[in-house]
C-alpha cells in the first residue's frame, strides 16, 4: 500500500493506490490549501518527491502549472489532480507558504 508523508509536520498515512494527494490530506485532517478541486485555480500546488510514485501529469495540469510559471518537471504538482500510485511519497506543504496563484513564487 502506498504511503504519503506531509511535511513539514511529518504526518504519514498509508493510502489506497491511486488516492489523490488532496483527498488523502482532507481525509486525514491535514491542513492543506486548495480551492476548486478541479484543475482550475492552482491553489493546491505542492512540492512532491519522488516523482515516479505519482500519476503522470495530465495536459490540463501541465498547462495550468505552466501558466502559473511553476516548474513542469513533476517536482510541483496540483494535489487535486495527482494520485499516489506506489512507494513512499513526500509532500512538502511549506511550498504553499512560498507561492500563491496571484503573486507567484515569493
Residues at the site binding ligand FES, with contacts judged by CB under 6 A: 34-37, 39-44, 78, 80
Q: Residues 12, 48, 80, 55: is their CA dihedral positive or negative? A: negative
The three grid cell numbers given for residue 96, joined into one nine-digit string = 504553499
- Please, what is the minimum distance in Å from the beta carbon of residue 78 to ligand FES? 5
Between 37 and 74, name the residue whose CB sits nearer to ligand FES. 37
**Cβ distance to ligand FES smaller for residue 47 or 78:** 78
* Minimal distance, residue 2 CB to ligand FES, in Å: 20
C-alpha cell at 61: 495540469
In whole angstroms, give the CA distance from residue 13 to residue 4: 5
Torsion of CA 37, 93, 7, 52, to 10 degrees: 60
In the bound complex, what is the minimum distance in angstroms from residue 81's beta carbon to ligand FES? 6
Alpha carbon 2 to chain centroid, angstroms: 15
Q: Which is nearer to ligand FES, 6 or 34 (CB)?
A: 34
- Specify the residue, 1 or 38, whose C-beta has the smaller distance to ligand FES: 38
Amino acid at each position: 500500500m502506498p504511503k504519503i508523508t506531509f511535511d513539514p509536520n511529518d504526518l504519514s498515512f498509508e493510502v489506497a493506490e491511486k488516492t489523490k494527494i488532496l483527498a488523502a490530506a482532507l481525509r486525514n485532517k491535514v491542513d492543506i490549501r486548495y480551492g476548486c478541486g478541479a484543475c482550475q485555480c492552482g491553489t493546491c500546488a505542492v512540492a512532491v518527491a519522488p516523482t515516479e510514485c505519482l500519476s503522470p501529469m495530465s495536459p490540463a495540469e501541465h498547462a495550468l502549472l505552466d501558466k502559473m510559471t511553476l516548474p513542469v518537471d513533476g517536482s510541483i504538482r496540483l494535489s487535486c489532480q495527482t494520485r499516489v500510485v506506489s512507494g513512499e511519497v513526500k509532500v512538502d506543504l511549506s511550498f504553499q507558504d512560498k507561492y500563491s496563484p496571484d503573486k507567484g513564487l515569493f
